[in-house]
Amino acid sequence: MIIVKLNGGLGNQMLQYAFGRAMSLFLKTELKFDISWFDTILEQETPRHYELECFGLAAQFATKDEIKKIKGLQALLSKRVSRILKKMNLLENKSYFLEKFYHYDPSTQLCSDNTYFEGYWQSYRYFESYQSQIKDDFLGKYKLEENNLALSQEIQSCNAVSLHVRRGDYVTNKNATDYHGVSPLDYYYQAIGQIIQEVQSPVLYIFSDDIAWVKEHLEVSLNVVYVENRAENKPFEDIYLMHLCKHNIIANSSFSWWGAYLNNYEQKIVIAPKKWFGDSSINTDDLIPTNWRRI
């Protein structure tokens, strides 16, 4: 058995699930999740909850005893203290693997069964060899809400291009603002310019957690459809609709990253921002697949 810690919003949880699923297939072992983070969110963190139930997965959750057995001393320490001691090499435990950086870490492949994994795992390379299983896990059983069926058919009938503007806690939470930053309007104008040059009669489907702001600030001359969130508390509706678009312009967000990754159109154009975090020194080379563009 391996245990993977879940945290963050839907996009992050999907990355952590995909990492865990791939590791369990690689090690040929059982996968369980630690969802205790959702009960102990720090004041400066955006409130979240477990969101993977929408996929109809047979996910199993680790008990406190199972977590304690594998993590050992780490299970008794706060996550902040544990992380600090681990980075200082003062807490050696081969059955506890803490992500060291954001790009792909090949040393995960040296881990054995009975390991506890904690991290964001923001690299497609962790599950590239199992992408068909991962995509099937997320798309296979999912059923769109009835009020989005007509829109899904409309999207599939044209040269649809999804465009995602992430605001929300990236704007309202200072810690999130400093950490993530917000993709500037100039990024979107450059991306739209490339689409206009290469896609015949594109239709822009705009997704955002602040549609009113986008309508006021993003001036677009294309045919535009503003996708209002019609399915309350069902965020994967938007990701699902994004993946139906032939092309994708994503934000610096794992939310629209998944919309583009799940897109199976062979000639898709995916455009992503070069600057993914507020700190541009963070290595994100492995976050974006090599056939996507960054501007």
Q: Give residue 241's pLDDT.
A: 98
Give the confidence band of 48 by pLDDT, cuts at 50, 70, 90.
confident
Is the pLDDT confidence value at 73 over 70?
Answer: no
Enter the DSSP assignment of 209: S
Tell me the range of 179-188, 206-215, 229-238, 274-283 where mean pLDDT is highest. 206-215
Amino acid identity of 69?
Answer: K
What average pLDDT does the structure give for the chain? 90
Predicted confidence band of residue 198 (pLDDT cuts 50, 70, 90): very high
Q: What is the pTM of this model?
A: 0.89
Rounded CA separation 261/152 (Å) = 18
Q: Are strands 116-118 and 96-98 parallel, antiparallel or unpaired?
A: parallel
Q: CA 2, CA 162: separation in Å to the nearest integer?
A: 36
Domain covering 146-294, topology: Rossmann fold (3.40.50)
120-155 pLDDT per residue, tens: 999 999 999 999 999 999 999 999 999 999 999 999
Residues in the chain, total: 295
- Cβ–Cβ < 8 Å for 46, 37: no
CB-count exposure of residue 47 (10 Å: 0-12, 13-18, 19+): exposed
